[in-house]
Structure 1
Amino acid sequence: MNRLLSLDELDTACVAQWREGALDACRDTARQMRERAIESGDLGQEARAELHLALCDQREARFAPALAAARRAAALSRVAGDTEFEVEALALVCAAGSVLGQPDGALEAGCLALQLATQCPGTLAAVQATDVLGLAQAWLGQTDAARNCFASGAGQARAAGRIDWEAHLLIHAAFAETLMLAMQWDAAAGLPTPAQRRSVEQALDAALARCEVTPGVMAGNTQRGGRFLLGWVQLMLACWRGDVAQADGQLGALQPRPQHERAWLDLLVAWAGVAIAASRRDWPQVETQAARMLDESRQMGHQPLAEQARRLLLVALARPGRMRQGSAALQALQGRPAAADVDAQALRQDMASFELRLRDLNKRPIGLPAWRREDSLTGLASREHFQAQADELLQRADPARAQVSVLVLALDPGQVLAAHHSPLVRDRVLCTLAALLRQVLRAGDLPARWSHDELGALLQRASGDDAARAGERVLATVRAYDWSGISPGLEVRVCLGHASARVGDTLDAMMRRCESARFASLRREYRRLPDAA
C-alpha cells in the first residue's frame, strides 16, 4: 500500500517540478495538495497550493488564471496569518494585474506587498517586492516611480550582501528603461536621440558591470531570463543607433529558448523585429509584424504589449493609399475573440465561490470576546483561547495527514524566584520567556499562557520529531539569554515537554503526556547536577 505524501512533501515536490519546468506535473501535484489541505483545514498549505498554480500559469503567460490563483493565495495567507507568504502572493497579483490592464489593483497589491515585507526581518521579501513593483510601474509607464523602486531594491540587496540579487535588480532596471523608451518612441518621427538613449545606456552599463564582477551570476538555467533581457536591451539600442545589421544578428540569437519559459518573451522578440523594420522605414514589414504581435498579445491577454503593437500598426497604416484598407483590417483583427477571454466566465464563477468560502472562514466564531483571547501579562494567547483553537484543530484534522503537536515550557519548580526576587522580577521573567518563545516558533504556531508559571504552544503540521526540534531551539534560546539584565546574578532554569496528537486525541490527554515528559526530563537533569545525591 502506497503511503500518502504529507502536505509538506507535496509542497517540496511542487517546488522541484516547477524549477525543472515540469509545469503539468507541478499543476497536478498542486491540485492534489489543495484538495488535501482543504480536507484537513490547513489554510496555510492551501494558500501554498494556490501559489504553485499561479506560478505555473504565470510562467506560461496565462495571466488571468495566474491572477485568480494569486488572489486566492493572498487571501488564504492573510487568514492563516502567514505574512511572508502573503507578500509573495501579492507580488504575483501585482505582476499579473499590471499586464492584464488592471493598473489600480496591481499597484495597490504591489505597494501592500512592499509594506508587509518590512514585517519579515531577515528575509529578502522587501527586495523581491520592490523588484516586482518596479516592473509593474515600468509596464504602466510610471518612469520615475520605477527608477526609484529599482534603485531602492538594488541598494537593499547590496546592504544585505546579496550581490546576486543586486545584479538581478540592475538587469530589470535596464530592461525597464528600455521598455519605457520603447513605449514612448514615435517610430514615424525617426530614431531616438542620444539624449533619449542615455538613461538606457547607463542602466545597461551598470547591469553589465555588476554581472562582470559577480562570478556565476549569469551562469545556469536560472539566469537564462536575465541573459535574454540584457540581449533584448542591447538589440533595441543597436536598432535605435541605426546599426541595423548588428540588430539583425542579435535578433536571430534571441529566438531559441525552451518551450516552458515565459511565453511573453516571444512577444519581445516580435517587438524587436517591428523596431528594426521601423528603423529601416520598411512600413509594409512593420504592418505585417505589428499585426502578428497585436494578435498574439491579445490572445495572451498582455495589454501593454497589445497597446504598443496597435500603436505601431497604426503608424504603418497611416501611409498614403493604405489607411482605408488598413483600418478595416485592424477592426477585423481586434474583433476576433481572444483566447485569454475564453475561460473568463469560469474564472469569475470560481472566484465568486471562493469569496463565499472566504467569508465563511472570516466569520468563524472565535468563541471568546477579544479581551479574553489574550493573556494580560505576557500578551500571548489566553488559556481559554488556546484550548478553543486546539479543540477546533483536533476535531477537523486527520492525524494521518495533518499533524498537530503541543509544547509546554515551565519554570523549574526547584527554582523558586519569589524566595529571592520580587514578584515584579518573576513577571519580567515570564514576559521575556514569552518573547523568546514567539521568536523561536514558526508563523502559524500559537504560543499561549497555560498556567501560573507555564507557557504552551500549539504547533500545526508538526510531527513528534518536529516538536522535539522546536523544543530544543526553545531551550537553547532560553539558556543563551542573559538574564542578569532583569536582576543582577539572576539565572533562570526551565523544563519542557512535548506531545503529538494521536487518533481520537484530546488536548487534555496531550497536555498530560507533556507533563509526564517534562518531569521525566527534569529528573534526568537533576541526576546530572554535581550536588545530586
Structure 2
Amino acid sequence: MSTDDEEHLALALRQEDPAVARDMALSVMALAIEKGNLHLEGRARALLAECFILLADYRSAHEHSIRAIQLLQSVRDMSGESKALSILSSAASALGSNDQAIEAALLGLELARIGGSADRQSELQVQLGLALLHARCFDASTDALRQARALEPASSTALNALCSLVVEGTCEVVRVITIRHETGEMPSLDGLHQAMRRYDDFAARHDMVALAQPDQRPIQVNWNLVASAAHCWSGELSRAERELETVRRWMDEEGIAPWMESLEALVRCELAMARADWPAAQRAASRMIGLAESTGREQSALLGHVLACHVFERQGKWEAAARELKQLAARERRIRASTLASRGAVVAWQLEMRRSEDSRRELQASAAQLERLTLEDPLTGIANRRCFEQSAQQSLRESQSAGRPLCVALIDVDCFKQVNDRHGHLVGDKVLQVVAALLVEHVRADDLAARWAGDEFVILFRRTELSQARDICSRLRVAVAGHDWSGIESTLTLTISVGVAESQPGDTLKRLVDRSDQAMYEHKAATKPGSR
C-alpha cells in the first residue's frame, strides 16, 4: 500500500468517517487481488477490519482480520501482523470468543516486543486487558492494563495510557455487576474508587484538552459513564444523573457507536434501580440487550441479561428472573458453538499454508508461537499448567502486597492407573474431562481450575482463607464420589484426594504448591483402606 493510500485512510478514520475509509480500503483490496499483491491485500484487509470495528460490524471485522493475519504472516510483515492481531482480538472479544481474543492479543504482543514498538505493545496490552475483562478474568485484566501504563514513558503518545485507565474503570464496573449477580450482595467499591483516583492523577499530569480530539473523545465519554456508575453506587444519584445527561447531550450532538449506547443503558439501569424505578430499569436492560443484538456484540447482550435478572430479583419476580437466566445460558451456548465454527477458517488457512515447503515452515513457526502462548489444556478444555502458573504468580504477589489470603489446592484422581489398565485410555480421558467439568462447576468465578499434569489438577483460590477453600474442596470430593460414572463405564467408581495450603508471608509459588502437594498425599494416606 502506498504512503498516500495509508495517509488518506488514516485521515478518514481520524475524522470519524469509517464508511469512507471502508470504501477506500475495499478499492485498494480489489486492486491488490487483481495484481496478486499479497502484502497490499493484507494491509488493506487489516484497515478494512478496523473500519468494520468502528461500524460495529464485528463479524466482518473478524473475517477480514483473520485473512489479513494470514497474508501478512506469509510476507513476513511482523508489524502489520501484530496490528491485525490487535483488531482480531477486539472483534473476537465483542463476539464472545474470549479464548481467541486472548490468544490473538498475546501473540500480537509478542510480535510487537520482537519488533521493539512501544506504541504497539501498549496498544496490545490494553487490548489484552479488554479481552481478559470480557473473559471475567478481572485480576489478570487489571495487571495487563497496569503494564500498558508502565509503557507510557517509552511511548510516543499518552493515549494508550488513558485507554488503559478507562478500560480498567470499565473492568471494575463489570466486576461489581458480576460479583453482585453471583453472590446476591453488593461487593466493595474499593477497586473502582482506586481506578477513579488513578484517572484523576493522570488528568492532573496531562493536557486533557489536547487529548480530547474527535477520534479520542469517545474514550473520555466512556469514562463519564464509569464515573456515573460509581456515583450511583455511592448514593450520589444527582451527581450520577448529571454525568449521564452530559454524556447524552454529547451523544445526541455527535452521534456515537452502539457499544457506547449499550454502556449508557447499563448505567441508566443501575440509576433506575437505585431509585426503585423498576419499569425504567427493565426498559434500560431490554434496550441494552437489543442494542447488542443489533450489532452482534455478544458481551453486552450477556451483561444485559444479568442486569435484567437482577432487576426482576429485586422486585421478587422470580419466574421472570429465571427466564432471563435461561436466555443467558442459551446465549452462552450459541457463543460457544459459533466460536467452534470460526475455527474452520483457521483450519482452512493451515491447509493452504501446507501447499509449499516455505509455507510449511511459516506454519510451524506460527504453531510454535501459539503453542507457547496457549492457555488451555486440549483434553479437558480448562486452563493448563502454564496458565495457572502465570495467574498464580501474579495473584500471589498481589495477595502478599495487599495482605489478602490466597490458597492453592492440588487434586489427584485416586487409582487412576487402574482406571486406564482396566477400562482403557479412552475411558481414562473421559474421566479426566468429567473431573475437570466438576472442578469448574464447583469453583467460583474468580478462582482458577487447571490441569496440572496427568491425572492431577490444581485450583487457585484468590482472596480465600484456608477454611473456606477446604469447604469448597470438601464439596468437590463429595461431588466426584457421588457422580454417576456409569455413563462412562458401568462398574466405574471414583474418588479424589485433595490437599489445600494457604500462602504465607514470603512464600514462593513453588513452596505453596509443594505444601498443597504434601497435604494431598497426607489426605490420600489417611483415607487409604486400612489406614485407620
- Cα distance in 2 for residues equivalent to 1:165 and 1:322: 43
Aligned to 2:206: 214
Q: Which has the higher helix share?
A: 2
Contact 1:284/1:316 (8 A) holds in 2: no
**Per-residue CA distance 1:460-499 (angstroms, 9 max, x = gap):** xxxxxxxxxxxxxxxxxxxxxxxxxxxxxxxxxxxxxxxx
Contact 1:173/1:203 (8 A) holds in 2: yes
Tell me by how many angstroms 1:107 deviates: 0.9
**Per-residue CA distance 1:11-39 (angstroms, 9 max, x = gap):** 33222212212222212111110111112
Question: Which residue of 83, 94, 97 maps to 1:102?
Answer: 97
**Per-residue CA distance 1:350-377 (angstroms, 9 max, x = gap):** x86x97688556625769x99xxxxxxx
Contact 2:126/2:160 (8 A) holds in 1: no
Question: Which residue of 98, 121, 142 maps to 2:116?
Answer: 121
**Per-residue CA distance 1:130-187 (angstroms, 9 max, x = gap):** 1110111112211111111111111122244754433332333233223322332349
The answer on 1:171 being equivalent to 2:171 is no
In structure 2, runs of 5+ residues without a counterpart are 363-532
Contact 1:211/1:217 (8 A) holds in 2: no
The answer on 1:228 being equivalent to 2:216 is no
Tell me by how many angstroms 1:190 deviates: 6.4
Tell me by how many angstroms 1:108 deviates: 1.0
Aligned to 2:192: 200
Contact 1:191/1:279 (8 A) holds in 2: no
Tell me by how many angstroms 1:238 deviates: 0.7
SS in 2 for 1:118: helix
Question: Which residue of 221, 225, 239 maps to 2:232?
Answer: 239
Tell me by how many angstroms 1:49 deviates: 1.1
**Per-residue CA distance 1:251-296 (angstroms, 9 max, x = gap):** 1111232666432010000000101111123323222221222222
- Cα distance in 1 for residues equivalent to 2:236 and 2:289: 26
- Cα distance in 2 for residues equivalent to 1:168 and 1:321: 39
Contact 1:277/1:285 (8 A) holds in 2: yes
The letter of the residue matching 1:37 is A
Aligned to 1:134: 129
- Taking a change above 3 Å as real, the CA distance of residues 112 and 283 of structure 1, as seen in their structure-2 partners, is same
Question: 1:53-72 to 2 correspondence within 5 Å?
Answer: 53-72=48-67
- Taking a change above 3 Å as real, the CA distance of residues 141 and 356 of structure 1, as seen in their structure-2 partners, is closer
- Cα distance in 2 for residues equivalent to 1:158 and 1:66: 31
The answer on 1:293 being equivalent to 2:259 is no
SS in 1 for 2:206: coil
- Cα distance in 1 for residues equivalent to 2:342 and 2:106: 25
Aligned to 2:494: none
Contact 1:164/1:214 (8 A) holds in 2: no
The answer on 1:252 being equivalent to 2:245 is yes
- Taking a change above 3 Å as real, the CA distance of residues 78 and 289 of structure 1, as seen in their structure-2 partners, is same
Aligned length: 353
Aligned to 1:528: none
- Taking a change above 3 Å as real, the CA distance of residues 247 and 113 of structure 1, as seen in their structure-2 partners, is same
The letter of the residue matching 2:116 is P
Aligned to 1:474: none
Contact 1:217/1:223 (8 A) holds in 2: no
- Taking a change above 3 Å as real, the CA distance of residues 9 and 217 of structure 1, as seen in their structure-2 partners, is closer
The letter of the residue matching 2:8 is A
Contact 1:44/1:77 (8 A) holds in 2: yes
- Taking a change above 3 Å as real, the CA distance of residues 31 and 260 of structure 1, as seen in their structure-2 partners, is farther
The letter of the residue matching 1:292 is R
Aligned to 1:418: none
Tell me by how many angstroms 1:106 deviates: 1.1
SS in 2 for 1:119: helix
Tell me by how many angstroms 1:303 deviates: 1.9
**Per-residue CA distance 1:353-404 (angstroms, 9 max, x = gap):** x97688556625769x99xxxxxxxxxxxxxxxxxxxxxxxxxxxxxxxxxx
The letter of the residue matching 2:287 is R
Question: Which residue of 273, 295, 298 maps to 1:278?
Answer: 273
- Cα distance in 2 for residues equivalent to 1:170 and 1:207: 6
- Taking a change above 3 Å as real, the CA distance of residues 298 and 184 of structure 1, as seen in their structure-2 partners, is farther
Question: 1:454-473 to 2 correspondence within 5 Å?
Answer: none
Question: Which residue of 179, 191, 205 maps to 1:184?
Answer: 179
The answer on 1:16 being equivalent to 2:8 is no
The answer on 1:309 being equivalent to 2:276 is no
- Taking a change above 3 Å as real, the CA distance of residues 224 and 355 of structure 1, as seen in their structure-2 partners, is same
Tell me by how many angstroms 1:231 deviates: 0.5
- Taking a change above 3 Å as real, the CA distance of residues 128 and 36 of structure 1, as seen in their structure-2 partners, is same
The letter of the residue matching 1:252 is E
- Taking a change above 3 Å as real, the CA distance of residues 116 and 277 of structure 1, as seen in their structure-2 partners, is same
Bigger radius of gyration among the two: 1
Contact 2:289/2:301 (8 A) holds in 1: yes
- Taking a change above 3 Å as real, the CA distance of residues 112 and 126 of structure 1, as seen in their structure-2 partners, is same
Tell me by how many angstroms 1:333 deviates: 11
Contact 1:204/1:230 (8 A) holds in 2: no
- Taking a change above 3 Å as real, the CA distance of residues 190 and 275 of structure 1, as seen in their structure-2 partners, is farther
Contact 2:306/2:325 (8 A) holds in 1: no
Contact 2:119/2:157 (8 A) holds in 1: no
The letter of the residue matching 2:206 is T
SS in 1 for 2:56: coil
- Taking a change above 3 Å as real, the CA distance of residues 129 and 173 of structure 1, as seen in their structure-2 partners, is same
- Taking a change above 3 Å as real, the CA distance of residues 112 and 32 of structure 1, as seen in their structure-2 partners, is same
- Cα distance in 1 for residues equivalent to 2:159 and 2:123: 12
Contact 2:86/2:105 (8 A) holds in 1: yes
The letter of the residue matching 2:245 is G
SS in 2 for 1:95: helix
The answer on 1:38 being equivalent to 2:33 is yes
Contact 1:7/1:33 (8 A) holds in 2: no
Contact 2:118/2:155 (8 A) holds in 1: no
- Cα distance in 2 for residues equivalent to 1:155 and 1:335: 40
- Taking a change above 3 Å as real, the CA distance of residues 330 and 25 of structure 1, as seen in their structure-2 partners, is same
Question: 1:153-172 to 2 correspondence within 5 Å?
Answer: 153-160=148-155, 162-172=157-167
**Per-residue CA distance 1:392-424 (angstroms, 9 max, x = gap):** xxxxxxxxxxxxxxxxxxxxxxxxxxxxxxxxx
- Taking a change above 3 Å as real, the CA distance of residues 191 and 248 of structure 1, as seen in their structure-2 partners, is farther
Question: Which residue of 357, 363, 375 maps to 2:355?
Answer: 363
Identity, % of aligned positions: 22
- Cα distance in 2 for residues equivalent to 1:191 and 1:300: 30
- Taking a change above 3 Å as real, the CA distance of residues 116 and 325 of structure 1, as seen in their structure-2 partners, is closer
TM-score (norm 1): 0.59
- Taking a change above 3 Å as real, the CA distance of residues 358 and 91 of structure 1, as seen in their structure-2 partners, is same
- Cα distance in 2 for residues equivalent to 1:333 and 1:119: 41
TM-score (norm 2): 0.59
Aligned to 1:454: none
The answer on 1:112 being equivalent to 2:111 is no
- Cα distance in 2 for residues equivalent to 1:332 and 1:142: 23
Aligned to 2:46: 51
- Deviates most, 315-324 or 163-172: 315-324
Question: Which residue of 80, 100, 107 maps to 1:85?
Answer: 80
